[in-house]
Amino acid sequence: MNSTKSWDIIKKSRLMKFLVLILLICFTTNGFTQTVQNLITKANELSEDKKFDEALVLYNKAVKLDTTHYQAYVRRGFLFNNMDEMQKSYDDYSKAISIQPDSALAYHYRAILLFRMAYSDEAIYDNTKALEFADNDSLRLMCFVNRGNAKQQKRDFQGAFEDFSRAYLLDTSNIGTLNNMATSMDELGRRDEAIRYFKQIIASDSSFIGAYVNLGFQYNKIGKYKEALDYFNKALTIENDESFSLNNRGLTKYYLKDYTGALKDINKSISIYAGNAYAYKNRALVYLAQDKKDMACLDLQKAVEYEFTKVYGEEVNELQKKFCN
């Protein structure tokens, strides 16, 4: 046999083996990637069905197969958040960010978690990073809203209003954002602007109960109790057993000296939602007006137990000092 031909045959044989090896590697890699993605897809479905334990098993398998899979950490972090496993959720989001440092979504999710844990400054930072990398208006809107919420949490209401306004510019049909703008104005003492925004919400969506409740609350603050009563009545025609509307209407009736009507509304509110500290404070005011001091003091203590002071300020403590010593 010709030696040249023999060498060509050997070279072709080696080339074929090399090509086969490359194909095997490609098929194995593709199959491996597909397996991890299939696990994540199935886990996502289980998570949406609230089958958290089953979903966690699959996410764990995906992470074990590929320790650098960004999506696996993001999705498992989201699951841990739903399971109230705060530290594990934080760790997974942080791992995802270390894998993909320009990930708007991982920063966005971690910011939500940090807000939930009341780490306001850290949540603001993560939302700012998410905005830096966000590539669509839908995500930008959520980041502005979430950063505004974090600013409200640390009582920076002007900063919150600015973020809510930016979100509103991205979607002027979003009444939730408009509602946030109005509440910021209220906290800043700019009541006329708050009222204007709440009325704008009703003009856009007359079924949005929150705007009626907030308007009633605003009119209570400025002493226009009959106007307040009208708005609470409208809220309760939309949802007749909404506990906050009932409680606030009860307070309005107290201001109008209709103590029987006030107690009826507040008692019904408490029967629906027994954990509302503000309702116990309001009922205590009615009892004090009726000279039922012992019953008032019991309700003021209930308000303390449900953390009235932490949320609303010192009013209950001052009432206790005045009437319950």
Summarised one tens digit per residue, pLDDT across range 145-197 is 999 999 999 999 999 999 999 999 999 988 989 999 999 999 999 999 999 99
What number of CA atoms fall less than 13 Å from residue 119's CA on the CB side? 14
Q: How far apart are CA 315 and CA 300, in angstroms?
A: 10
Percent of all residues in the chain with a pLDDT value above 90, rounded to a whole number: 80
Higher per-residue confidence, 13 vs 313: 313
Residue in 85, 32, 76, 74 with CA at minimum distance from that of residue 58? 76
Better-scored residue on pLDDT, 9 or 60: 60
Section 59-80 average pLDDT: 92
Residue whose pair of structure tokens reads 């070279």 in the numeric block: 11
Residue found under tokens 């949320």: 311
Q: pLDDT-derived band of residue 313, with 50, 70 and 90 as boundaries?
A: confident
Confidence band, pLDDT 50/70/90 cuts, at residue 11: very low
pLDDT band at 6 (very low <50, low <70, confident <90, very high): low
**pLDDT, average across residues 254-280:** 96
Q: Which residue has the tokens 């031909």?
A: 5
Helix, strand, coil % (nearest 5) of the chain?
A: 80, 0, 20
The amino acid at residue 34 is Q
CB of 174 closer than 8 Å to CB of 168: yes
Confidence category of residue 95, pLDDT binned at 50, 70, 90: very high
Confidence (pTM): 0.72
Distance CA 46, CA 43 (A): 5
Residue 76: is it exposed, middle or buried by C-beta count within 10 angstroms (0-12/13-18/19+)? buried
DSSP state of 40: H
